């Protein structure tokens, strides 16, 4: 669930051509409110169906029941520490996998030698769906923190790697030539031309990696954990507490949306020059 919300929805990328006029007729705010109509209606339908017994509560509790459970779990100090543990796992995994992917990407992007040495093995490992190594990871690391951080790192590494290499490769050689005519040193070429030119691709990689990290975390925490949001859900399943399970799902989704929002804010700040990310295109 969080994987889809944290991934890239086509509508989140700038404005579509030809959309300006319709938006002008409706008013931007009107359309914005209208876009919430279906989600709110679904929520109300769900609430109604659960209240009037159409859906048995042990299969799917009412949204209001999930909300009261959330308040109770926050109140008795259970929920916040579990969320903290999950976030810390995601952040450490992201930092480790992201750094490795970025450094490998830089090496391969800049050096033909590094490409010859590194690209094939990285692509071969990438061909393995990273969740398929789960059992092996548990054998290696047991059910401790290392296993989860390793899995998140693995999920993050490849999107960052691929988009770093791609971004560097996509830099316009004509701009590089101009920089050389201008007498820029290698360091200046990298700082002033290559890295900014690779930035759109790099940030797209960050967004993919966030989705991937989140997916890895959900799986890792659900298979083997003694704390965290996933553990909360697993534990609740034993007692058929569907309200707690739904709450865990909702929290995963919310944090996924939040992480994607941070990534988009980064895009807007760092890519202010880019026509696709210009302020008028942002929502």
Partner 1 sequence: MASLPAARVQELRRAYGPRVIIDGLNLTIARGEFVALLGESGCGKTTLLRALAGLDSPQGGRIETAGRPAIVFQEHRLLPWDTLWRNVALGLSGHDARDRAARALAEVGLGDRLEDWPRNLSGGQAQRVALARALVEEPALLLLDEPFAALDALTRLRMHDLVRDLVARHRPGVLLVTHDVDEAIALADRILVMRDGAIAGTHIPPEATRRDRAHPEAAALRRDLLAALGLRATAD
State the residues that interact with partner 1 by CB under 8 A.
174-175, 177-184, 188, 192-193, 196-197, 199, 271-275, 278
Dist CA 152 CA 126 (whole Å): 14
Query: Residue 205: which residues within 8 A CB-CB, separation 6 or more?
Result: 101, 159, 160, 162, 163, 164, 167
Cβ-based nearer residue to partner 1, 196 or 228: 196
**Between 97 and 179, CB nearer to partner 1:** 179
DSSP 16: P
Task: Judge contact between 78 and 89, C-beta under 8 A.
Answer: no
Least spacing, CB of residue 125 vs partner 1, in Å? 33
To the nearest whole angstrom, how small is the minimum distance from the Cβ of residue 54 to partner 1?
Answer: 54
* Residue 84 to residues 76, 90, 103, 208, 229, Cα–Cα distance (Å): 15, 10, 28, 22, 9
Q: Which is nearer to partner 1, 20 or 72 (CB)?
A: 20
The minimum distance between CB 103 and partner 1, in angstroms, equals 23
Kindly state the smallest distance separating residue 270's Cβ from partner 1, in Å: 9
Tell the smallest beta-carbon distance from residue 184 to partner 1 (Å). 5
Angle, vertex CA 176, rays to CA 172 and CA 180, nearest 5? 165
**Closer residue to partner 1, CB minimum distance, 253 or 270:** 270
Instruction: Compare residues 58 and 180 and give the one whose CB is closer to partner 1.
Output: 180
- Report in angstroms the alpha-carbon separations of 258 from 90, 186, 219, 275: 13, 38, 20, 24
């Amino acid at each position: 669930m969080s994987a889809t919300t944290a991934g890239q929805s086509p509508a989140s990328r700038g404005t579509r051509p030809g959309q300006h006029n319709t938006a002008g007729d409706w008013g931007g705010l009107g359309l914005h409110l209208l876009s919430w109509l279906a989600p709110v209606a679904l929520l109300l339908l769900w609430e109604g169906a659960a209240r009037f017994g159409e859906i048995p509560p042990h299969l799917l509790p009412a949204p209001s029941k999930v909300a009261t459970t959330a308040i109770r779990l926050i109140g008795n100090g259970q929920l916040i520490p579990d969320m903290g543990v999950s976030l810390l796992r995601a952040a450490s995994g992201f930092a480790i996998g992201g750094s490795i992917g970025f450094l490998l990407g830089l090496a391969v992007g800049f050096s033909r030698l590094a490409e010859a040495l590194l690209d094939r093995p990285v692509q071969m490992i990438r061909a393995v769906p990273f969740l398929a190594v789960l059992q092996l990871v548990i054998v290696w690391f047991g059910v401790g923190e290392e296993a989860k951080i390793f899995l998140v790192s693995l999920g993050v590494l490849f999107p960052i790697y691929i988009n770093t290499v791609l971004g560097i490769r996509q830099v316009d050689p004509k701009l590089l030539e101009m920089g050389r005519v201008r007498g820029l040193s290698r360091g200046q070429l990298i700082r002033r031309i290559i890295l900014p030119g690779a930035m759109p691709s790099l940030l797209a990689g960050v967004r993919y990696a966030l989705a991937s990290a989140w997916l890895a975390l959900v799986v890792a925490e659900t298979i083997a954990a003694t704390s965290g949001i996933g553990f909360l859900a697993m534990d609740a399943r034993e007692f058929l507490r569907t309200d707690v399970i739904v709450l865990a799902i909702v929290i995963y989704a919310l944090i996924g949306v939040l992480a994607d929002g941070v990534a988009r804010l980064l895009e807007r700040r760092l890519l202010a020059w880019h026509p696709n990310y210009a302020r008028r295109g942002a929502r």
